[in-house]
Amino acid sequence: MSVRNALPEGPAVDAGPPGRDPSSDTIGLRLLEAAAHLVATRGLKGLTIAELAREAEVSRPTVYRRFQSSDDVVRALLGHRAQRLVARASRPRANGPGSDPGGGTGTPGRTEIVDGVLAFGDLFRADPVFQRLLRHEPEVFTRYTLQRIGRSQRVIHEWIAAALGAAQPGGTVRAGDTHDMALMVLIISQGALLSGPTVADLVDPETWRAELSRALDAYLRP
């Protein structure tokens, strides 16, 4: 399957030195979509510069103008996928029962933040790239996401920190350093997400989700 028709090539076929955001032009986006397809269908072993160029129907020099190695491709891909999931998870939602928007300021409250984090987890588990890595290559996923904070975690961390900072003046989120608090929310959520499959026989998905919601809410409550 080719992604050539997914995005037009446009005039900037060879634009973009290594180090720039690969999603900032149509060719970079095409490469990321091609990489996503390769990882989702073949795993990371199927992601080489040669295969990426073939899948995206561009030359290898075009790939190397954006990525120095397949490792760079993977890191960019995970960050890009995380950014897309954050954008979807952070879309405004109608307030449900017990929702506490930020004191009438129009900013998200604690309940909306917790709901957003849970929504991100749902999207994460359903994403074909992350799903493939979690199910079939967990050790590789760990290397790229847990051994050190990478781009994908930074995207999520910055999103949570910004939401906490916006909610604190409304009184629905306790006082504290939003950087540190967001990091702990990330650690709690990530740990629950990754350990979820190991306890699947002990707890049903809805109960697991409800308990994670309570844990996050209790941590953030004033």
Assign residue 98 the CATH number of its domain: 1.10.357
Contact 208, 194 (CB under 8 A): no
What confidence tens digit (pLDDT) does each residue in 195-220 have?
Answer: 877 777 888 889 999 999 999 999 99
**Mean pLDDT, to the nearest integer, of 132-139?**
84
**What pLDDT, on a 0 to 100 scale, did the predictor assign at position 222?**
96
**Mean pLDDT, to the nearest integer, of 34-60?**
95
What confidence tens digit (pLDDT) does each residue in 57-70 have?
Answer: 999 999 999 999 99
Terminal CA-to-CA distance of the chain, rounded, Å? Answer: 51
172/109 same-domain check: yes
Share of the chain above pLDDT 70, in %: 79
Query: Residue written as tokens 């510069």?
Result: 49
Q: Which of 12, 41, 68 finishes a domain?
A: 68
User: What's the DSSP call for residue 46?
Assistant: G
**What pLDDT, on a 0 to 100 scale, did the predictor assign at position 191?**
86
Element spanning 157, H or E: helix 151-167
> How many Å apart are CA 168 and CA 163, to the nearest integer?
9
pLDDT band at 139 (very low <50, low <70, confident <90, very high): confident
> How many Å apart are CA 177 and CA 217, to the nearest integer?
17
82/179 same-domain check: yes
Residue in 51, 35, 217, 39 with CA at minimum distance from that of residue 118: 217
Domain count, the chain: 2
> How many Å apart are CA 157 and CA 101, to the nearest integer?
21
Q: Could you tell me which residues come within 8 angstroms of residue 208 by beta carbon, excluding any fewer than 6 positions away?
A: 192, 196, 199
pLDDT band at 97 (very low <50, low <70, confident <90, very high): very low
pLDDT band at 11 (very low <50, low <70, confident <90, very high): very low
Burial of 57 (0-12, 13-18, 19+ CB in 10 A): middle
Kindly tell me if the per-residue pLDDT of 172 is higher than 90.
yes
In degrees to the nearest 10, what's the CA dihedral of 9, 14, 15, 20?
100
Kindly tell me if the per-residue pLDDT of 92 is higher than 70.
no
Determine the structural domain holding residue 95 and report its residue range. 77-220
**Mean pLDDT, to the nearest integer, of 38-64?**
95
Q: Three-state SS for 49?
A: helix
94/48 same-domain check: no
Kindly tell me if the per-residue pLDDT of 17 is higher than 70.
no
